[in-house]
Homo-oligomer: A and B are copies of this chain.
Amino acid sequence: MRENKALSAWQRDEQTIGCWLSLANSHSAEVMAHTGFDWVCVDLQHGLVDYADMVTMLTAISTTEATPLVRVPWNEPYEIMKALDAGAYGVIVPMVNNRAEAEQAVSACRYPPKGNRSFGPIRGAVYGGKGYATEANDQIACLAMIETAEGVAKADEIMSTPGLNGIYIGPADLALSMGLPAMGDQPQPEHLEMVKSLLEKCKAHGLAAGIHTSSLEFTQKYLALGFNFVTLAGDVGHMAKNAARELAAARGTEGPSRESTGY
């Protein structure tokens, strides 16, 4: 079975940079994957992408060495299983609140006896190649998001879930859970402290630590902190920011003050 290069890197405590995909389009997925990111993540939660588009996007990513990930829309077993069957090599599961939910996420990623994933890796096995049935439990990354008040409070019990490979932080939801305004890249010092605290716990539990950003600035900041996987913005953001900046420059007007929506 094809190696999960991103997961291998995280298991060696290395740092990787990825890109977020919110556009339902195989070509933007292919272009982003060709850019050289270590991994690329199709977002089924907030992205405007559904299952059918995800399939063509995962296929597009498969033309490159980038590891294909999917953020599933919810901690729903069949949504996780369908993403994996379609060829995702890892899932990012939103809003995991406690141990039971973390265990449910992991279980959906693992064939029995380690979990309850149903067998039928229709495209996953085409992408993964021979050995998928027996090796997938070790190659597929299960990544839980900690971003709610309950999830933060129960971070340790989540992080100690057997079979979980890593934690991914959603800064905007984390901010809301702290009573801070959602801004995407959050500038508040207390937010940074919370991020650092979660990162430390994550390292202590031997898990890969990941976080979302909408900018180079925050990517650099979080890489400097030691995160293993940082999202350097996404397809829509790269497009919109560059277009707005250059349009303002061409018109000789001031740059745009785009209100972040986190994406």
Q: Give me the interface of A with B, judged by CB distance under 8 Å.
A: 17, 19, 22-28, 30-32, 34-37, 45-48, 50-53, 55-56, 59-60, 62-63, 73-74, 76-78, 81-82, 85-86, 94-95, 111-113, 116, 118-123, 125-127, 130-134, 147-149, 170, 172-173, 176-177, 179, 181-183, 215-216, 219-220, 223, 230, 232-233, 235-236, 238-244, 246-247, 249-251, 256, 259, 261-263
Distance of A227 Cα from B189 Cα, bound (Å): 49
List, in ascending order, chain B residues with CB within 8 A of A62's CB: 63
- Report B-chain residues with C-beta under 8 Å of the C-beta of A116: 95, 148
Contact of A172 among B32, B120, B148, B251 (CB under 8 A): B120
Q: Chain B nearest CB: distance from A173 CB in Å?
A: 5
Known: A32-B243, A118-B170, A232-B247. 15 other contacts (CB 8 A): A17-B247, A24-B52, A25-B25, A36-B247, A45-B81, A46-B120, A59-B59, A119-B261, A119-B262, A133-B183, A216-B250, A219-B250, A232-B243, A238-B239, A242-B242
| Residue in B35, B125, B179, B239 whose beta carbon sits within 8 Å of that of A247 in the complex | B35
Q: Please indicate the chain B residues that have their CB under 8 angstroms from the CB of A85 in the complex.
A: 46, 48
Q: Are B112 and A261 in contact (CB under 8 A)?
A: no
Give the complex CA separation of A31 and B111 in angstroms: 24
Q: Which residues of B contact A230 (CB under 8 A)?
A: 250
B244 pairs with A181, CB closer than 8 A? no
A237 to chain B, nearest CB (A): 8
